[in-house]
Structure formats: structure tokens, C-alpha cells
């Protein structure tokens, strides 16, 4: 990377959902320290309760921040810039994290970068050290998380083209809902993947919505309904273990088939793609990664998937997105952004992100 406008580390905060996270990165993107505290109380409630999540962030964030500073061996006075997820996400959590980062930045007279949470996922694959050489633009991003499922042409920092997305449920929502139908609780993705290893992915005939259809939109609502119909004959009785495993394996195979098909169509819409990148919490699913890697190999393209800890919500990706923004502005002889006035946004589409 060329010289950045920073000569001291950047501190980032992520509180967009139910993970309280901080990270400190050097100006070149080296991770000096990272901490993530995941809230566990939502499992008994069947999903994240926004008000409870916000209060938990408020309680936990100061200690997580202190732990991160200690781990990096640095003090607030040594930090050169601050960043925080400012949207999209749960508004209460966004307010907590961005307000703290803004307050410290103002007190320290340092720059604050408001980071789009989706953009942070989109740029994670460029983090130094993840690939032998930093991947170049444009590349195809498949963002698959609890609330997002879309194919994006990443053409540069702040330059994103949405090629397709879900028209109903996101892939992560489908995993969580099917897991709940199978009695696996929440969060459902990891539990469903574990159960699927015991099942036969060909045992249950399930639909593959939009498979082969032009474009790269997604639809998972019908697939979820089909699973519910498979379970309905058992009424209130607990599903036999093997039946549940077969359904889990068949559902997981369906999602992988759909994602691979949509990736093929997305590549046709982005013929100059340098690689395929998958990001977001569902990107931790092993079968999904394997299928997308096979698509990339068939097109003689590199496949990039961040380490599992960087697929779920984390502050490293927020810090890296901020560094990318600062570098892009410096390359155009622009000053550091004055993002203090930017209010947290529960909705912030990538299309509304401004290029430096």
C-alpha cells in the first residue's frame, strides 16, 4: 500500500447487532489487537431483541475498549483516527458504538470515519495478509449474512453495483428459521451445519427457487415453507434424529446449489471480475464455501473467503474499511473525512455509499 495519512494506529468499534467488538489496526492494516464479546442471552428469546442488545453494548463496550487498548499496548492518546459502524443495523447498538467513537475522536481532536457495515464486509478480502497479493478491483462479492444476501460488483472504494439480491428472506434468515423448525434453537446456522453432517443431502426433495433464472436474485421463503411441510406430519412430536439430519443436509445442499447458480449468473454480468469473494456470517458454512470455490475454479478465478472470525461481525473489518477510505481520499489529495455529523442509519444501502 502507498503511504497513508496516518502515522499512528486506528481504533474501530462494531456494535451493529449483538456483537460488541473493538479492534486496533496499524496504518498499513496490521491487526494490533481485536476483541469480540458475543451476547448470549438472546438464544433463550429465539433471536436478537434490539433494546436488550443496545443495553448490553452500553454495558460491555467500555471494558471491551479497555481490553483492546491493553492488548495492543497503546493508549487513547496514541490513536490517530477512530471509526465505527454507523449503519445499517439495529439503531440502538449503532448509536452506542458510533457515539462513543465520535466522543473520543472529538475529545482527542482526531478524525472519525463513519463506516457502512456492508462496505466493511465487502472490503475485508483486501485486508493485508489474507492473500499472497492484495486482490484488485473489480471483484464479485457474494454477501451472505443474517440480514443480507446479495451479489455485488466491487469496483473500488465507495464504488459498488448491486447485481442482484434476495426478494424475500436472506440466506442467514432461512438457516435460522429452518433450524428453529428442526428444534435447534438460535443462532441456527452452526447447529444446522453440524446436524447436516449426519444426514443424506439427497434424502428430501426440496425446491430450488430461481435456479437457472436470468440474473442473480435470490429467494428462500419458498424453500423454508417446503421444509415446514416436510416437518408438519410429525405434529408436536420431536423429529427422529435421522429425519432431522436428512432435512438439514438436504436444505443445506439446496442453499449451496442456489448460491452456486447465482454466482455463475453474476459472473456473466461481471466478465472482468478478478476473483470471487464471499463474506458475511453464512460464509462460515463449509459446504457453501466449497461450492463457491468450485465455481471460481471453473472460471479460473481465485476464491477468497476471510477467516471464520472475520466472516461474522467484527471490528477489524470496520477499521480496514476506514483505512481504505482514508487512503482513497489521500490518493485524491482530499482531507480526512469529517463524519461527526453523520447520524446512525438502520438502513444504508451500498448504492448510497459515496466514493471519495
Task: Please report, in range form, the residues annotated as the binding site.
Answer: 117, 121, 143-147, 176, 189, 193, 285, 313
Which residue, among 183, 201, 202, 216, has the nearest Cα to 252 in the 3D structure? 201
Task: Please report, in range form, the residues annotated as the binding site for Fe cation.
Answer: 117, 121, 313
Which residue, among 140, 251, 283, 263, has the nearest Cα to 211 in the 3D structure? 263
Measured between alpha carbons, how far is residue 148 from residues 276, 280, 282, 322 in Å?
A: 17, 8, 10, 21
CA atoms of 241 and 349, how far apart (whole Å): 41
Which residue, among 267, 258, 176, has the nearest Cα to 219 in the 3D structure? 258
The widest CA-to-CA distance across the chain, in whole angstroms, is 66
Contact 153, 293 (CB under 8 A): no
CA atoms of 90 and 262, how far apart (whole Å): 28
First-to-final CA distance of the chain: 17
Task: Please report, in range form, the residues annotated as the binding site for substrate.
Answer: 143-147, 176, 189, 193, 285
Phi, psi of 283, rounded to the nearest 5 degrees: -65, -10
Phi, psi of 149, rounded to the nearest 5 degrees: -150, 105
Amino acid at each position: 500500500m502507498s503511504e497513508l495519512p496516518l502515522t499512528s494506529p486506528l481504533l474501530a468499534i462494531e456494535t451493529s447487532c449483538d456483537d460488541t467488538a473493538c479492534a486496533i489496526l496499524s496504518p498499513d492494516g496490521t491487526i494490533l489487537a481485536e476483541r469480540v464479546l458475543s451476547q448470549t442471552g438472546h438464544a433463550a428469546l429465539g433471536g436478537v431483541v434490539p433494546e436488550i442488545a443496545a443495553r448490553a453494548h452500553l454495558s460491555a463496550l467500555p471494558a471491551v475498549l479497555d481490553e483492546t487498548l491493553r492488548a495492543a499496548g497503546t493508549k487513547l492518546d496514541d490513536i490517530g483516527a477512530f471509526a465505527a459502524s454507523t449503519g445499517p443495523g439495529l439503531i440502538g447498538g449503532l448509536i452506542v458504538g458510533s457515539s462513543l467513537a465520535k466522543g473520543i475522536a472529538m475529545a482527542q481532536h482526531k478524525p472519525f470515519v463513519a463506516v457502512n457495515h456492508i462496505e466493511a464486509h465487502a472490503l475485508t478480502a483486501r485486508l493485508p495478509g489474507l492473500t499472497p497479493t492484495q486482490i484488485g478491483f473489480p471483484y464479485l462479492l457474494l454477501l451472505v449474512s443474517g440480514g443480507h444476501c446479495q451479489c455485488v460488483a466491487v469496483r473500488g472504494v465507495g464504488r459498488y453495483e448491486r447485481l442482484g439480491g434476495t426478494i424475500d428472506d436472506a440466506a442467514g434468515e432461512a438457516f435460522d428459521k429452518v433450524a428453529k423448525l428442526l428444534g435447534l434453537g438460535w443462532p441456527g446456522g452452526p447447529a444446522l451445519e453440524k446436524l447436516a453432517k449426519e444426514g443424506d443431502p439427497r434424502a428430501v426433495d426440496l425446491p430450488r427457487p430461481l435456479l437457472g433464472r436470468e440474473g442473480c436474485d435470490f429467494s428462500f421463503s419458498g424453500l423454508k415453507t417446503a421444509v415446514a411441510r416436510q416437518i408438519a406430519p410429525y405434529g408436536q412430536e420431536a423429529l427422529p434424529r435421522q429425519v432431522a439430519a436428512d432435512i438439514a443436509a438436504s436444505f443445506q445442499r439446496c442453499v449451496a446449489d442456489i448460491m452456486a447458480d447465482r454466482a455463475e449468473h453474476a459472473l456473466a454480468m461481471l466478465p472482468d471480475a478478478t476473483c470471487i469473494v464471499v463474506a458475511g456470517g453464512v460464509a462460515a458454512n463449509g459446504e457453501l464455501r466449497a461450492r463457491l470455490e468450485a465455481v471460481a475454479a471453473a472460471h479460473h478465478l481465485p476464491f477468497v473467503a476471510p477467516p471464520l472470525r472475520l466472516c461474522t461481525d467484527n471490528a477489524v473489518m470496520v477499521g480496514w474499511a476506514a483505512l481504505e477510505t482514508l487512503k482513497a481520499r489521500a490518493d485524491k489529495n482530499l482531507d480526512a473525512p469529517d463524519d461527526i455529523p453523520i447520524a446512525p442509519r438502520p438502513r444504508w444501502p451500498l448504492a448510497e455509499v459515496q466514493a471519495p
